[in-house]
C-alpha cells in the first residue's frame, strides 16, 4: 500500500504547483493528495513502523490483571480484561486500596510494556513527517487544522473554559475528601487520579451520586421509560432518525437497515464500541453497535447518526473532499444533536419523561450531570496530544517522558498519581489512543464546537434569544422539528472539507473563530452554584487564582513524585 501511494504521488501529484491551479476545489484536492503521510517512508521503514504499532496495540488489547481479591492468579483463566472487568472496578468501587491496586496493575500490564516500541515509533514517525516537509510528526498533525500557531489557538480556548473546570475540580475535591478523609488531607489541592470513576480521570459521571447539587430535586433518566414502553434497538434508532428528519434533514434509515449491526450477534465475538461507517459509494452508510436499552445508548444513537448525516450531506463531493471541515467537526455534529435530545423538554415531547418538576434546582442537577462528562473531559482532551507534540518535537528527553506526562496531568487536570511513578513506567501508553497512533486533540476541539453549533441552531430555531432577558436559558433549548435549524446545519455539512473550516463555521454559526464562550454560557447556572458551594462569591474569587498557582508549581511537585 505504501509503495502504491508513493508511486501514485510521484506520477500524478509530486510536481504539481498548487498556486497555478485556478479552480478552488481542484486546488484543495491537490493540496490533500500531496501529503504522503507515513507512506513517505521506505518499504522497510514503513514495515518497521507498523510492526511497532502492532506490538503496542496487541499489548494493550491483550493486557489482563489479577483481581484485587486474588492478586496471584492464573491470568489466562482468572485475569480481568479492561472491559468489562477492570472498568467495572474503577467505575464502581469506593475501596481506596482496591482502586490503587487496579490502577497500578492496569498501567503495569499495558503502558509499562510498550516504552521501547514507542521510542522507535517516535523516530520513524518523525522521519515520515520530515519527508512531508514538516519539522516533526506533531507539527504534521497540527497542520491538518490549517491554522498558523495552532497550539496558541488551543491555549486560548483553554483559558476561556479553565475557570469553569477549576470550579468543578474544587467542588469535586471537597466532596471526595468527605469520602476519603484519611487519604485526602485538608491541604490537598490535587485529586488522586484513580478515584474519579474512570481510569484516566477523563469523565467523572460515575461520581454523580456523590456530587449531585440537590439530591431531593428532580432528576431524569429515561432508561425505565424505554424499557417500560418495550423499546428495542430498532425503535430507538427510528426515534433518532425521526429527530433528523423533523429538521428537514436526510433520512438515516439505511444506517440501521439489514446490512447494519445494531445488536450484539449471538454467534460470534465482535467489537461493540459504537461506530459509523461510510462505504464510499454515496449510498451505503451503516452503524455498528451492540445496543442496550438505556438512556446512554439512546443518546449514543443520536450521536452516531450525526456521522451518518454528515457522510450523506457531503457524498456529492469528490472523494478526497468527503471529510469533516477539520478533525473536530465530525464528532461535534452528533454531540450537538445529543445536547438537544438530552433536554427534559425534548424527552417530554417524545413521551419518555413525565412527572418532571422543572425547577432551578433540577436544572442545576442536569447541568452537573452534563458537566461531569463535558467539562471534566476538557483538560484531558488537551494534554494527550500536548504530551505527544512535546515528545515528537524533542522538547522533553526520553528520560523524562513519564515525568512530563504527570507534569501535564498536574497542570491541566489538577490530578496526581495514586502512587509514586518513575521512568520505569510509561503511563501514556495506558490510554488506547497513544499506542493506536490516534490523534486526540480533535475531541477537545469537538467539545468546543458542539456548544457553538448548539447555540447557533438554538438561535436559528427561535429557542434562544441571547439579547432578551426573558429568554429561556441556553441549556433548555430543543431544536427538534425546526426546519430553519436543519437548513443551517445542512449548509455547513454539505461543504465537507471542500473549503477551509472557517468558512464552514461561518455557514453554521455566523462566525469564523472557535470559541469556548458558548460552552461557558451553557453552564452559567452551574458555575454560579459552584462558586457559592466553593465559598467563592464572585468569578474573580472563584478559586481559579490559587488553582493557577498550583498549576505553575506542578512541575516542582511532580519532581517529588516522579524520579
Catalytic residue among 304, 404, 447, 450: 304
31 is in an annotated binding site: no
Give the residue ranges of DSSP H helices in 279-328: 295-313
**Maximum Cα interatomic distance, the chain, rounded to a whole number of Å:** 69
Q: Give the position of cell 468543578.
A: 168
302 is in an annotated binding site: no
Active site residue 302: no
Q: Reduce the DSSP state of residue 321 to 3 states and report it.
A: helix
Catalytic residue among 98, 348, 433, 500: 433
How remote is the C-alpha of 507 from its chain's centroid? 24
How many CB atoms are located within 10 Å of the residue 258 CB? 6
Burial of 169 (0-12, 13-18, 19+ CB in 10 A): buried
87 is in an annotated binding site: no
331 is in an annotated binding site: yes
Note whether 255 and 286 are within 8 A (CB): yes
Distance CA 404, CA 406 (A): 5
Helices 441-460 and 360-393, interaxial angle, to 10°? Answer: 140
Query: What is the Cα Rg of the chain in Å?
Result: 24
Distance CA 76, CA 74 (A): 5
* Cα separations in angstroms, 320 against 121, 254, 429: 27, 23, 32
How many CB atoms are located within 10 Å of the residue 106 CB? 23
**Residues with Cβ within 8 Å of residue 358, at least 6 apart in sequence:** 218, 344
How remote is the C-alpha of 539 from its chain's centroid? 27
Using left for φ > 0, alpha for ψ between -120 and 50, and beta otherwise, residue 66 falls in beta
How many CB atoms are located within 10 Å of the residue 409 CB? 25
How remote is the C-alpha of 420 from its chain's centroid? 28
Active site residue 433: yes
Note whether 385 and 441 are within 8 A (CB): yes
* Cα separations in angstroms, 503 against 279, 492, 506, 522: 27, 9, 5, 24
Residue 56 is inside which H or E element, if any?
A: helix 43-62
Q: Give the position of cell 477549576.
A: 166
What the block records as the C-alpha cell of 387 is: 504530551
How many CB atoms are located within 10 Å of the residue 175 CB? 14
Binding-site residue ranges for Zn(2+): 303, 307, 331
Catalytic residues: 304, 433
Binding-site residue ranges: 145, 303, 307, 331
Amino acid at each position: 500500500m505504501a509503495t502504491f501511494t508513493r508511486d501514485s504521488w510521484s506520477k500524478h501529484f509530486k510536481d504539481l504547483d498548487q498556486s497555478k491551479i485556478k479552480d478552488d476545489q481542484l486546488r484543495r484536492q491537490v493540496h490533500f493528495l500531496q501529503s504522503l503521510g507515513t507512506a513517505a517512508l521506505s518499504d522497510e521503514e514503513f514495515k518497521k513502523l507498523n510492526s511497532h504499532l502492532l506490538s503496542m496495540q496487541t499489548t494493550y488489547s491483550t493486557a489482563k490483571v489479577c483481581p484485587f481479591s486474588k492478586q496471584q492468579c492464573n491470568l489466562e483463566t482468572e485475569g480481568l480484561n479492561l472491559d468489562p472487568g477492570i472498568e467495572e472496578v474503577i467505575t464502581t468501587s469506593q475501596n481506596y486500596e482496591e482502586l490503587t491496586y487496579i490502577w497500578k496493575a492496569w498501567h503495569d500490564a499495558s503502558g509499562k510494556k510498550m516504552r521501547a516500541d514507542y521510542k522507535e515509533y517516535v523516530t520513524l514517525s518523525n522521519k515520515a513527517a520530515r519527508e512531508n516537509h514538516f519539522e516533526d510528526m506533531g507539527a504534521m498533525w497540527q497542520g491538518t487544522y490549517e491554522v498558523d500557531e495552532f497550539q496558541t489557538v488551543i491555549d486560548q480556548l483553554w483559558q476561556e473554559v479553565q475557570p469553569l473546570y477549576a470550579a468543578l475540580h474544587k467542588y469535586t475535591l471537597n466532596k471526595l475528601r468527605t469520602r476519603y478523609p484519611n487519604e485526602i488531607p485538608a491541604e490537598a489541592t490535587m485529586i488522586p487520579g484513580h478515584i474519579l470513576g474512570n481510569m484516566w480521570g477523563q469523565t467523572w459521571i460515575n461520581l454523580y451520586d456523590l456530587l449531585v447539587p440537590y439530591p431531593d430535586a428532580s432528576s431524569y433518566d429515561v432508561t425505565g421509560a424505554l424499557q417500560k414502553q418495550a423499546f428495542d434497538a430498532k425503535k430507538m434508532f427510528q426515534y433518532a432518525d425521526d429527530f433528523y428528519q423533523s429538521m428537514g434533514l436526510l433520512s438515516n434509515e439505511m444506517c440501521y437497515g439489514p446490512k447494519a449491526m445494531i445488536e450484539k450477534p449471538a454467534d460470534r465475538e465482535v467489537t461493540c464500541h459504537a461506530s459509523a461507517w461510510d462505504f464510499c459509494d454515496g449510498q451505503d452508510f451503516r452503524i455498528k453497535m451492540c445496543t442496550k436499552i438505556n438512556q446512554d445508548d439512546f443518546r449514543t444513537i443520536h450521536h452516531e447518526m450525526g456521522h451518518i448525516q454528515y457522510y450523506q450531506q457531503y457524498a456529492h463531493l469528490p472523494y478526497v473532499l468527503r471529510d469533516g471541515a477539520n478533525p473536530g467537526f465530525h464528532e461535534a455534529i452528533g454531540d450537538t444533536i445529543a445536547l438537544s435530545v438530552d433536554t427534559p423538554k425534548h424527552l417530554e415531547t417524545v413521551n419518555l419523561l413525565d412527572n418532571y418538576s422543572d425547577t432551578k434546582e433540577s436544572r442545576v442537577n442536569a447541568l452537573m450531570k452534563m458537566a461531569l462528562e463535558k467539562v471534566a473531559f476538557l483538560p484531558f482532551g488537551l494534554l494527550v496530544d500536548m504530551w505527544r507534540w512535546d515528545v515528537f518535537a524533542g522538547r522533553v528527553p526520553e528520560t523524562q517522558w513519564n515525568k512530563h506526562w504527570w507534569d501535564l496531568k498536574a497542570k491541566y487536570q489538577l490530578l496526581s498519581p495514586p502512587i509514586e511513578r518513575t521512568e520505569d513506567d510509561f503511563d501514556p501508553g495506558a490510554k488506547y489512543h497513544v499506542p493506536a497512533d490516534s490523534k486526540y486533540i480533535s475531541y477537545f476541539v469537538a467539545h468546543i464546537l458542539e456548544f457553538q453549533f448548539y447555540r447557533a441552531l438554538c438561535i436559528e430555531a427561535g429557542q434562544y434569544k441571547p439579547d432578551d432577558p426573558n429568554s429561556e436559558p441556553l441549556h433548555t433549548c430543543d431544536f427538534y422539528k425546526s426546519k430553519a435549524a436543519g437548513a443551517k446545519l445542512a449548509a455547513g455539512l454539505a461543504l465537507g472539507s471542500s473549503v477551509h473550516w472557517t468558512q464552514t463555521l461561518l455557514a453554521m454559526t455566523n462566525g469564523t473563530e472557535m470559541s469556548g464562550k458558548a460552552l461557558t454560557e451553557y453552564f452559567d447556572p452551574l458555575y454560579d452554584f459552584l462558586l457559592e458551594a466553593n465559598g467563592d462569591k464572585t468569578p474573580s474569587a472563584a478559586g481559579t487564582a490559587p488553582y493557577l498557582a498550583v498549576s505553575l508549581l506542578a512541575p516542582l511537585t511532580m519532581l517529588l513524585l516522579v524520579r
